[in-house]
Amino acid sequence: MPIRKRILMIDDEAAIRKLLRTAMDAQKVEFFEAASGKEGIAQAIAVKPDAILLDLGLPDQDGIEVLKALRKWYERPLLVLSVRSQEETIINALDQGADDYLTKPFNLNELFARLRVAERHFDKQESLVLELPSGVKIDLTNRLLTKNGEEIRITVTEYEVLKVLVRNQGKVLTHRQLLHEVWGPNSAEHVQYLRVYVGHLRQKLEEDPNNPKVIITEPGVGYRMIIPD
Amino acid sequence: MLKIMMGWSLSIVFLSWFIASFLAPTIGYQAVGIIFLISVASSGIVVSRRWVFFNAVLLSLIHNFFFIPPLYHFEIKSTQDSMMYLLYFLAAFFIGQLTSRLKKQKEIIEEREKRTLALFNLAHAISEASQMDEVLKVGKESLEKIFSAEVKVLLPKEGEIRKGREGAVCELARQSGKITGRFTLESSDAIATYFPLLIRKQVLGVVSLKLPRRESLTTDHIDFAQALVGQIASGLDREKSHEAKRKLEVLEQADRLFHALFDSVSHELKTPLTTIKGAASVLSSEQTLSHEIVSDLGAQIETQTERLLGVVGNMLDMTRLESGNLKPRISTYDIADILGPCLAQLHKQDSIQTDVASDIRPLKCDAPLVVQALSNILHNSLIYTEGTAIEVRAANCEKDQVEIEVRDHGPGLPPNPELVLQPFYRQNPEKSGGLGLGLSIARGFIEAQGGKLLAKNAPSGGAVFTITLPAG
């Protein structure tokens, strides 16, 4: 019998834990729960889950602190749950090591999708060849970009940005994370460059650059590259 | 003053003497007495009683010495002449005193008239004054003018407590409701006089009157001052009750608004919840349900939940706006960063067409807020224009700004289009659902970032909403 996947949820709300338990049971996932930060950390150590769902609004401790404590040794996928209009907290969480986030009330399908993305990223299973709805094909293995068979010209930096996005496909990336990956540390001031390069990429990759569906903006948080189905 | 009086007296005396000398040969020395009588009588009009007496004496001496035989002697020979002399003197004296008194009476009446006029003017000015501060200012200035004094109005809250003896006397006036200080029976050694502002036996404050050193207040003056202070007090009282009335009106308005909001929220929350509860109870019942029914109920729950989320979201947004704590985080964004998330949020994307100028500049704004604002506007248009196209146009506009315009082809806005941007405004309550907050939140969010939101009716029908934001 294959070993079941284990997921740990740290959230003080009993109702939401119950809901997730039902959903996870349906997916044949072993579900563990904790109602506080302290309990969560203890459970994580005991259970060693494959992924963790962490609510940022915990009663006993600041969710970010729990995140930092976990990330000291836990390397696997970790998603944070927040409430509306908490962009700053979310950015903070992502910078502190969370893989992605969800805003309550969230769609369960979306939760599972993002969990999958995070796992794929962890297992380094991202596809390096993507075919987009606009007819553009991204081939990172051959460092090539084509549209309907014809090569598209792309600058070095544009490619670097695209590479980071593709490698993190489906996951949210904060501006800082992108800048760090492309321009190295101490590059936080170059946020405007990032915007310009993303603009160029959208021009090349999107069907409607003004209504992007591939490189989407998460307002106030960052960018996310959507994997085409 | 003395010199003037003396001057007048002597002028009258010498004038009469001159006239008498002139007429004496014709009318005889007894008739001269009548001339002097007239003179003394009329001097009462000009000079005070003392000087009338002085004139009477002087003129009788002149009469005696210069006119009654033997001339140039104070002696009077005939008894008849002596009697006449005495009688004339007495008559002159009494008439003079009488005229003097008449003059005094006239002065008193004139003074009273002046005061009544001053009182009337003050009352009028106070009745015109529309605020407590104005009443105090007008009252103070009038008192200062009438009494040429230094006037201070002391109301308990101002805390301008004068220290020491003066403060104590002032405090005494305030607590006892009696006039204290200089020229009164109470603490008359004080520098100023303190009049309590009394309304219905309650002391609102104290008015202090400090006269210049030489001047004084008679009881009459004090009564007058008290009447004036009384006017000020009733002016203050009137303004106080106006203010209380105004505050009450504001509270009543707030109360009405609260009830309207409460009813509205109640309804908007209960309506979707009723469907959700109904659907959920069917799903959790024992009966076997077809896949179709389960799907349908599930979809209904989802739709109603979205609706509920919309209402709750609006309430939260409104609270953020009203709390004054909204701090927009401004950065530079491309139009794609706004349009993308916004259109992704709305379900009926097909009826929305976008038209973005090719040279459009980036926007300096708080993206989440603009996305929410634009979302609210589009959501509103979608509801009122089922099916017809909605155009979203974005382009640069004057003064370093970027404009996002939403145009629909629906029924349009009321004749005063800006009305729709008011909180709780609903054009068609049955149709829209929601609290009527969406557009006012949109405006609040845009204006908080230094932008503008305008609502207009398009000439060809339909509504036009224009967001203007600074270009980055």
Shortest Cα distance, chain A CAs vs residue B339, angstroms? 6
Q: Other C-beta atoms within 10 Å of B311: how many?
A: 20
Q: Other C-beta atoms within 10 Å of A58: how many?
A: 22
Q: Other C-beta atoms within 10 Å of A57: how many?
A: 15
Q: Other C-beta atoms within 10 Å of B64: how many?
A: 18
Q: Quick one: pLDDT at residue B432?
A: 57
| Inter-residue contact B239 to B155 (CB < 8 Å) | no
Identify each DSSP E strand in B114-199 by its residue range: 150-154, 180-181, 193-199
In the predicted model, residues of chain B with pLDDT beneath 50 are: none
Least CB-CB distance to A219: which of B332, B356, B367? B367
Q: Do B356 and A210 touch (CB under 8 A)?
A: yes
Compute the distance between CA of residue A49 and CA of residue A215 in angstroms, rounded to an integer. 31
Question: Best of A210, A221, A223 to disrupt the B interface by mutation (most B CBs within 10 Å)?
Answer: A210
A40-49 long-range contacts (CB < 8 A, ≥24 apart) are: A40/A8, A40/A10, A40/A66, A40/A70, A41/A66, A41/A69, A41/A70, A43/A8, A43/A10, A44/A8, A44/A70, A44/A74, A47/A6, A47/A8, A48/A6, A49/A6, A49/A7, A49/A8, A49/A76
Residues of chain A contacting B329 with CB distance shorter than 8 Å: 87-88, 220
Taking any CB pair shorter than 8 Å as contact, residues of chain A touching chain B are: 84-85, 87-88, 105, 191-192, 195, 198-199, 202, 208-213, 216-220
Q: Do A211 and B329 touch (CB under 8 A)?
A: no
DSSP letter at B361 equals P
**Burial class for B238, CB neighbours closer than 10 Å (0-12, 13-18, 19+):** middle
Q: Is A209 helix (H, G, I), strand (E, B) or coil?
A: coil
Residues of chain A contacting B344 with CB distance shorter than 8 Å: 216
Q: Quick one: pLDDT at residue B5?
A: 81
Q: For residue A80, what are the β-bridge partners?
A: A54, A101
Q: Is the dihedral of CA B210, B216, B220, B221 positive or negative?
A: negative
Task: Express each pLDDT in A3-40 by its tens digit.
Answer: 789 999 999 999 999 999 999 999 889 999 999 999 99
Buried b (16+ CB within 10 A) or exposed e, A182-207: bbeeebeebeeebbebbbbbbebbbe
Compute the distance between CA of residue B446 and CA of residue B450 in angstroms, rounded to an integer. 7
For B35, the token pair is 């001339």
For B202, the token pair is 């309650």
Return the H-helix or E-strand segment holding A151.
Answer: strand A150-151
User: Letter for the amino acid at B133?
Assistant: D
Cα A71 from chain centroid (whole Å): 16
How distant, in Å, are the alpha carbons of B184, B216, B404, B450 from that of B219? 8, 10, 78, 66
Q: Is the peptide bond before A105 cis (omega within 30 degrees of 0)?
A: yes
Q: For residue B154, what are the β-bridge partners?
A: B206
Q: Quick one: pLDDT at residue B212?
A: 81
Q: Which is nearest to B336 in space by CA: A209, A213, A161?
A: A209
| Inter-residue contact B68 to B76 (CB < 8 Å) | yes
Which residues, 6+ apart, have CB-to-CB distance to B410 below 8 Å?
B381, B384, B385, B388, B462, B463
Least CB-CB distance to B371: which of A195, A202, A219? A219
Shortest Cα distance, chain A CAs vs residue B433, angstroms? 21
Least CB-CB distance to B341: which of A87, A202, A217? A217
Q: Do B332 and A192 touch (CB under 8 A)?
A: yes
Phi, psi values for residue A81, rounded to 5°? -115, 130
Task: Express each pLDDT in A109-129 by its tens digit.
Answer: 999 999 999 999 998 888 888
Q: Is B216 helix (H, G, I), strand (E, B) or coil?
A: coil
Compute the distance between CA of residue B439 and CA of residue B378 in angstroms, rounded to an integer. 10
Search chain A and give the residue with CA nearest B345.
Answer: A218
Task: Express each pLDDT in A168-192 by its tens digit.
Answer: 999 999 999 999 999 888 777 788 8
Residues of chain B contacting A188 with CB distance shorter than 8 Å: none
**Burial class for B45, CB neighbours closer than 10 Å (0-12, 13-18, 19+):** middle
Q: Quick one: pLDDT at residue B275?
A: 92
Shortest Cα distance, chain B CAs vs residue A220, angstroms? 6
Question: Number of CB pairs < 8 Å for A and B?
Answer: 58
Question: Does residue A220 carry a pLDDT above 80?
Answer: yes
Task: Express each pLDDT in A27-85 by its tens digit.
Answer: 889 999 999 999 999 999 999 999 999 999 998 888 999 999 999 999 999 999 998 77
3-state secondary structure A126-147: CCCEEECCCCEEEECCCCEEEE
Q: Is B326 at the interface with chain A, CB within 8 A? A: no
Q: Do B340 and A213 touch (CB under 8 A)?
A: yes
Q: Do A195 and B356 touch (CB under 8 A)?
A: no
Q: The complex's ipTM?
A: 0.88
Residues of chain B contacting A105 with CB distance shorter than 8 Å: 305, 309
Search chain B and give the residue with CA nearest A209.
Answer: B336
Q: Is B368 at the interface with chain A, CB within 8 A? A: yes
Residues of chain A contacting B341 with CB distance shorter than 8 Å: 216-219
Task: Express each pLDDT in B236-286 by its tens digit.
Answer: 888 888 889 999 999 998 888 788 778 888 888 998 999 999 999 999 988
Q: Is B393 at the interface with chain A, CB within 8 A? A: no
Q: Quick one: pLDDT at residue B433?
A: 63
Shortest Cα distance, chain A CAs vs residue B429, angstroms? 27
Residue with tokens 């659907």: B279
Q: Other C-beta atoms within 10 Å of B216: how many?
A: 10
Phi, psi values for residue B365, rounded to 5°? -160, 180
Compute the distance between CA of residue B441 and CA of residue B468 in angstroms, rounded to an integer. 15
Q: Do B340 and A195 touch (CB under 8 A)?
A: no
Least CB-CB distance to A84: which of B316, B336, B371? B316
Compute the distance between CA of residue A63 and CA of residue A56 in angstroms, rounded to an integer. 4
